[in-house]
Amino acid sequence: MKIGFMTFGCKVNASEDEFVSGELAALGFAAAPPAEADVIVINTCAVTETAAKRCASCVSAMRRKRPEARIIVTGCLTGLSGTDFKALGADAVVTNGSKGSLKEHIISLTDGLVPVENAPFYGGGPSVGTSKTRAFFKIQDGCDAGCAYCIIPSLRGKPRSKPYKEALADFALLVERGFKEIVLVGIHIGMYGRGTPYGLAELLEAVTEIPGDYRVRLSSVETGEITDKLVGLMAERRERICPHLHIPLQSGSDKILKAMGRRYFAADYINAAVNAAKRVEDLTIGSDVIVGFPGETEADFGDTVQTLKKAGADFIHVFPYSERKGTAASGMEGRLSKGEKEARASLLRGMWDEVSLASMRAMKGKICRVLTERGGKGRSDNYMPVVLSADIPPNRFVNVLITGDENGSLTGDIIP
Ligand code: SF4
**122 has pLDDT over 80:** no
- Cβ of 115: how many Cβ atoms within 10 Å? 12
Cα–Cα distance, 317 to 349 (Å, whole number)? 8
Q: What is the CA radius of gyration of the chain?
A: 27
Tens of pLDDT, residues 191-220? 999 999 999 999 999 999 999 999 999 999
DSSP string, 227-242: -HHHHHHHHHTTTTB-
For β-strands 70-75 and 92-94, DSSP reports them as parallel
Domain boundaries, the chain: 2-109, 134-361, 367-415
Tens of pLDDT, residues 84-114? 999 999 999 998 888 888 888 888 887 666 6
- 316 in Cβ contact with 347 (< 8 Å): no
For β-strands 377-380 and 385-388, DSSP reports them as antiparallel
Tens of pLDDT, residues 214-268? 999 999 999 999 999 999 999 999 999 999 999 999 999 999 999 999 999 999 9
Counting ligand 1 atoms within 8 A of each CB, the residue from 116, 143, 289 with the most, and so the one to mutate, is 143
Cα–Cα distance, 395 to 54 (Å, whole number)? 63
- CATH number for the segment(s) 367-415: 2.40.50.140
Q: Which of 197, 228, 368, 211 is nearest to 284 (CA)?
A: 368
Using the mean position of ligand 1's atoms as its centre, give its distance from the Cα of residue 200 in Å: 17
Using the mean position of ligand 1's atoms as its centre, give its distance from the Cα of residue 328 in Å: 13
Tens of pLDDT, residues 285-321? 999 999 999 999 999 999 999 999 999 999 999 999 9
Question: In the structure, which protein residues have their CB atom closer than 6 angstroms to any atom of ligand 1?
Answer: 143, 145-147, 150, 152-153, 187-188
Give the CATH architecture of domain 2-109: 3-Layer(aba) Sandwich (3.40)
What number does the ligand 1 atom closest to the CA of 222 have? 3
> Residue-wise over 40-73: b if at least 16 C-beta within 10 A, else e?
bbbbbbbeeeebbeebbebbeebbeebeebbbbb
What number does the ligand 1 atom closest to the CA of 187 have? 7
Counting ligand 1 atoms within 8 A of each CB, the residue from 141, 152, 187, 247 with the most, and so the one to mutate, is 152
**Class of 134-361 in CATH:** alpha beta
Q: Write the CA distances from 398 to 3, 27, 151, integer angstroms.
A: 57, 47, 42
Question: What burial class does residue 11 get, using C-beta atoms within 10 Å of its C-beta: 0-12 exposed, 13-18 middle, 19+ buried?
Answer: exposed
Residues 39-50: what's their mean pLDDT?
Answer: 87
